[in-house]
Every structure is written in C-alpha cells, then in structure tokens.
C-alpha cells in the first residue's frame, strides 16, 4: 500500500477578496522506503502542497484526494496527522518562548504514544533517548534546556528540528525548503539526519528550490512542480539537469 497517495489535488488559498487557485491537479504517490524530491520555481505551490498535507488553516481543497497509510488524510485534524506519524519541517520554524526544548520534545513523543495506545515514556527512558539521539546528531545538550527556537541560529534550529524528527520516529517526513538560508555545515546536518532516518517503512518528501541539498540526500524520484502542476518526473539526474538548465523550460522565463 502507498504511504501517501495524492490524486488530482486542487487547492485554493483563501484571500480577503476570494480564493486563488494554487494547486491545479497534483498526482503523487510515495511508497514506504522512498525518498521523493519536489523541485520548482518560487511561487509554484510547493509550500501550499506541504501546508495542505499538514492540514494548516487558510487552504481549501476543491478537488481530489490525499490518502495516508490507507486513511483519508484530508478528514484528519492537523494534530491528528502529526500523531499518525506525519512530520513536517517548515521553511520558518516557530519559536515557543517559555517552553524548554526538552519539554517540547517529551510532549510531542507522548502525544504520539498516546495516539498509538501506548503509555507515556518513563522520565529516565526519555532522558536516555534524548542523550543518545542528541549525541548521534551533534546537538549540544544545553541547547535542549533553552526555549524552543528562541534565539537559535538557523543551523541550531535545524539541528533541533532533525533531533525532534529522529525522536518521533515518523512514518512520513515532509521537509519544505528546510535548506533555504543554510550554510554548508547546517545543510549537511539536515542531510545526515534525513539519511539516518531512511528506513524501509518510512517515506520522505523533500521540497527544495535548489539542487544543492540533493547532493547529500539522494532522492529515488524527482518531480518538477510548476504553476500548481507536476510537469515532469524522473530520477536523481533530473535534479542535476535542473541545476544546469534552471526552470525556464517550465515557466517560459529565466528561473
Ligand atoms: P512556493 O513554495 O513554490 O514558492 P507557495 O505555495 O508559497 O509557492 O505559493 C504559491 C502561490 O500562492 C504564489 O503565487 C504565492 O504568491 C501565493 N501565496 C502564497 N501564500 C499566500 C497567502 N497567504 N495569501 C495569498 N497568496 C499566497
Ligand atoms: Mg516560496
Ligand atoms: Mg515555499
């Protein structure tokens, strides 16, 4: 069974003066174990796609379906999706003043366990898991005592996000331009984390404008999204082709 099955997806963004059509018929199937990349010019609808998958408010699906692990994803609330193992890393991480990163991680883990009908994680087990995962991913432990993302550098935010992703053991990870504005070291942190999470029962959707990230995370399938549609699908060589030629072929203008 597919992990994520998107069929003929049309979505609009709600605006004051009406609705604007952004996604115009997306078909995309991710099977367990696969890493898919979605590339495309600015304004193509990449973030809209990830926001619709996440169930963020402000969007209306006007046509089509999204099935996640056999269930109708569009019928699920955003937090339900997260508890069902969907992990979304966004372009702009949210700051949560007053909540220590470690507390935030523990809450997230317990929410998932609760959804799976499992008891809360023991305090000692949580500390062990946090210690070993942060060591593996190179996250300084004192960072986890600080409030979520408050005053973190771009690289630190990514490290914590990857740590969170690893600790939650998601079934499907969606990374929306998580590489934008990162220096090469932070980029490698993200890529190493994602690569470490590759597993036969896990799928990944890596959304990026630039090919650079895909030098480190090698996708099984690459899709080009332009003007709300997937206009081309290929293997990893498509990403290299795009790096060389840009998106002009798909937009009628220089990318
Ligand atoms: P991408 O992530 O590929 O750059 P987006 O999904 O962010 O594209 O945006 C797709 C289109 O929707 C763009 O034309 C953008 O200007 C528009 N858009 C995005 N967010 C909003 C919003 N909140 N209100 C109105 N238009 C928006
Ligand atoms: Mg954009
Ligand atoms: Mg975007």
Encode pLDDT of 201-234 as tens digits. 999 999 998 888 899 999 999 999 999 999 999 9
- How far apart (Å, rounded) are the C-alpha atoms in residues 179 and 208? 7
DSSP E strands, the chain: 4-15, 18-30, 35-39, 59-68, 71-72, 86-89, 96-100, 147-148, 172-176, 203-208, 221-226, 229-234
> Residue 173: what pLDDT?
94
How far are the Cα atoms of 180, 214, 216, 230 from residue 237, in angstroms, in the given order?
21, 10, 14, 17
Find all residues with CB under 8 Å of 64, minimum gap 6, and list them: 6, 7, 8, 9, 10, 25, 26
Expressed as residue numbers, the domain containing 142 is: 4-251
pLDDT for 38-87, tens place per residue?
999 999 999 999 999 999 999 999 999 999 999 999 999 988 898 888 99
Closest CA to 106 of 85, 82, 130: 130
* 3-state SS class at 226: strand
Average pLDDT over residues 11-28: 93
CATH of residue 205's domain is 3.40.50.300
Question: Please, what is the average pLDDT of the chain?
Answer: 90
> Residue 162: what pLDDT?
86
Report the number of distinct structural domains present in the chain. 1
> Residue 128: what pLDDT?
95
- Residue nearest ligand 1's atom 7 by CA: 47
Average pLDDT over residues 77-104: 85
Confidence bin at 92 (pLDDT 50/70/90): low
Nearest atom (ligand 1) to Cα of 48: 6
- How far apart (Å, rounded) are the C-alpha atoms in residues 193 and 137? 7
Residues with Cβ within 6 A of ligand 1?
A: 13, 15, 20, 22, 40, 42-48
- Report the separation in Å between the CA atom of 91 and the middle of ligand 2, taken as the mean of its atom positions: 9
Residue 236: enclosing H or E segment and its boundaries? helix 236-245
- Report the separation in Å between the CA atom of 42 and the middle of ligand 2, taken as the mean of its atom positions: 5
**pTM score of the predicted model:** 0.89
> Residue 255: what pLDDT?
44
Average pLDDT over residues 190-211: 90
């Amino acid at each position: 069974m597919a992990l994520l099955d998107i069929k003929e997806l049309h979505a609009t963004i709600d605006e004051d003066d009406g609705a604007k059509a952004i996604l115009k018929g997306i078909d995309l199937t991710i099977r367990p174990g696969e890493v898919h990349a979605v590339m495309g010019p600015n304004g193509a609808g990449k973030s809209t796609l990830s926001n619709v998958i996440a169930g963020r408010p402000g969007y209306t699906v006007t046509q089509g379906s999204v099935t996640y692990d056999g269930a109708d994803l569009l019928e699920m609330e955003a937090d339900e999706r997260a508890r069902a193992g969907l992990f979304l890393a966004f372009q702009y991480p949210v700051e949560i003043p007053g909540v220590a990163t470690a507390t935030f991680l523990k809450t997230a883990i317990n929410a998932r366990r609760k959804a799976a009908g499992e008891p809360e994680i023991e305090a000692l087990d949580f500390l062990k898991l946090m210690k070993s995962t942060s060591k593996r991913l190179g996250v300084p432990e004192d960072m986890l005592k600080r409030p979520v993302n408050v005053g973190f550098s771009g690289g630190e935010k990514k490290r914590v996000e990857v740590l969170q992703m690893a600790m939650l053991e998601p079934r499907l990870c969606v990374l929306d331009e998580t590489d934008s504005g990162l220096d090469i070291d932070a980029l490698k942190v993200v890529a190493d984390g994602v690569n470490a999470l590759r597993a036969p029962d896990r799928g990944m959707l890596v959304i990026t404008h630039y090919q650079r990230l895909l030098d480190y995370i090698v996708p099984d399938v690459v899709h080009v999204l332009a003007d709300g549609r997937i206009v081309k699908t290929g293997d990893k060589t498509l990403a290299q082709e795009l790096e060389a030629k840009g998106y002009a072929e798909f937009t009628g203008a220089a990318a």
